[in-house]
């Protein structure tokens, strides 16, 4: 009897350990037609391995600050609650960088990066015993150049992207935010765009122009400015991002059908901002600006004449939380891309 009890106990321990073994790695070799200098590496985790995965959150590693989203405790808890798997894609330089910067990536997903992401998901589907990963919907999160990458990725695979988060998005020619125009089928993908008011690399003008071009065509997006912040510190907006994603997941319902639902932006709340010139310019010569005033109101109200639109919110709470954040005149600069 004692031997039987010990055997059952050991079997239970091994099973529990196996249930928690949710960490995986993959390396995707380039094809001759890819503009990739070598294999692309990926880390992967499933916080709730005992349940089917509904969504995969893909974060492109562009330094310390953005990569923290992969294993941040609150992000992991959010992923566990919503049956989300987490994937960290590492920098994958191009063999012929379009920007002519040695070691830089090619931000056109049709040149290899897009294929590497989907191939990695197929690999993780086999490794983890979760075949649903091969067709799972995606949340994509990128910083700086990979913010521009994921703007292009929405155009590349709009049917697969649940939501896109572009933080300090920008890239040298030919992939600047001023050059990106999405097709109609990509407009329904909700995007959360974050910029730093003193960011002299990505700037404020081109990201807002990207937001406004698509807003005017019906895109239900959000634009957020961090006052006093340069090219860094996107972890500061984590709580607001998670709140927004919680609503997006409910409205787009990734597990109910193969086709993601379109959010109804005829109701809800709209945010507005009054930008002030910061008397500085970014690296492309465009003016930088901060937010001096902001407001939110129901979609049925007449827009204020002295402010410009900056986002749609499905709930009053989210609108007010965005307002409270963007009204801060100095956001904390407590994390930077290259911290160890």
Q: Is pLDDT above 90 for 336?
A: no
Q: What band does 339 get if pLDDT is binned at 50, 70 and 90?
A: low
Q: Is pLDDT above 70 for 119?
A: yes
Q: Is pLDDT above 90 for 88?
A: yes
Q: Is pLDDT above 50 for 27?
A: yes
Round to whole Å and give the CA distance between 217 and 196: 25
Task: Name which residue leads in pLDDT, 6 or 225.
Answer: 225
What pLDDT was estimated at residue 280? Answer: 86
What pLDDT was estimated at residue 7? Answer: 36
Q: Is pLDDT above 90 for 175?
A: no
Segment 70-94 mean pLDDT: 97
> Who contacts 30 (Cβ-Cβ below 8 Å, separation ≥6)?
36, 37, 38, 39, 40, 112, 116
Segment 163-179 mean pLDDT: 92
Q: Average model confidence (pLDDT) for the chain?
A: 91
Task: Name which residue leads in pLDDT, 332 or 226.
Answer: 226
Q: What band does 337 get if pLDDT is binned at 50, 70 and 90?
A: low
What pLDDT was estimated at residue 14? Answer: 34
Task: Name which residue leads in pLDDT, 123 or 176.
Answer: 123
Q: Is pLDDT above 70 for 200?
A: yes
Q: Is pLDDT above 50 for 8?
A: no
Segment 254-277 mean pLDDT: 90
Q: What band does 142 get if pLDDT is binned at 50, 70 and 90?
A: very high
For 29-45, how does the pLDDT look when each residue is reduced to its tens digit (9 = 90+)?
Answer: 999 999 999 999 999 99
Round to whole Å and give the CA distance between 228 and 236: 13
> Could you give all domains of the chain from N- to C-terminal order, each with its CATH number?
21-326 (3.40.50.1820)
Segment 65-89 mean pLDDT: 96
Helix axes 145-156, 113-128, angle to 10 degrees: 80
Q: What are phi and psi of 214, to 5 degrees?
A: -85, -30
What pLDDT was estimated at residue 170? Answer: 93
Q: Is pLDDT above 70 for 211?
A: yes
Pick the range with the lowest mean pLDDT from 9-13, 22-26, 51-55.
Answer: 9-13
Q: What band does 20 get if pLDDT is binned at 50, 70 and 90?
A: low
Segment 6-14 mean pLDDT: 35
For 267-325, how does the pLDDT look when each residue is reduced to its tens digit (9 = 90+)?
Answer: 999 999 999 987 789 988 899 999 999 999 999 999 999 999 999 999 999 999 999 99
What pLDDT was estimated at residue 6? Answer: 36
């Amino acid at each position: 009897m004692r031997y039987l009890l010990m055997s059952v106990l050991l079997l239970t321990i091994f099973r529990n350990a196996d249930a928690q073994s949710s960490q995986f790695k993959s390396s995707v070799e380039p094809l001759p037609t890819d503009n990739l200098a070598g294999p692309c590496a990926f880390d992967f985790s499933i916080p709730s391995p005992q349940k089917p995965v509904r969504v995969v959150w893909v974060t492109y590693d562009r330094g310390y600050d953005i990569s923290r989203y992969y294993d941040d405790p609150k992000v992991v808890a959010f992923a566990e609650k919503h049956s989300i798997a987490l994937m960290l894609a590492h920098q994958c330089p191009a063999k012929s960088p379009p920007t002519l910067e040695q070691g830089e990536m090619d931000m056109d997903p049709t040149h290899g990066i897009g294929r590497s992401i989907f191939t990695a998901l197929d690999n993780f589907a086999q490794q983890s015993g979760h075949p649903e990963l091969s067709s799972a919907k995606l949340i994509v999160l990128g910083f700086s150049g990979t913010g521009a990458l994921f703007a292009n990725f929405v155009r590349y695979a709009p049917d697969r992207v649940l939501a896109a988060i572009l933080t300090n998005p920008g890239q040298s020619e030919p992939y600047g935010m001023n050059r990106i125009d999405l097709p109609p089928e990509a407009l329904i993908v909700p995007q959360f765009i974050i910029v730093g008011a003193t960011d002299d690399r990505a700037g404020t003008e081109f990201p807002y122009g990207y937001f406004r071009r698509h807003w005017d065509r019906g895109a239900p997006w959000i634009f957020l400015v961090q006052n006093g912040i340069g090219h860094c510190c996107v972890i500061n907006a984590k709580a607001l991002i998670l709140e927004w994603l919680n609503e997006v997941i409910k409205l787009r319902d990734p597990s109910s059908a193969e086709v993601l639902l379109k959010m109804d932006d005829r109701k809800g709340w709209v945010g507005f901002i009054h930008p002030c010139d910061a008397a500085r310019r970014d690296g492309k010569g465009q003016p930088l600006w901060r937010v001096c005033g902001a407001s939110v109101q129901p979609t049925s109200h007449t827009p204020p004449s002295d402010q410009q639109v900056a986002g749609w919110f499905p709930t009053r709470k989210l609108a007010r939380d965005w307002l409270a954040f963007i009204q801060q005149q100095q956001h904390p600069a407590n994390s930077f891309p290259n911290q160890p």
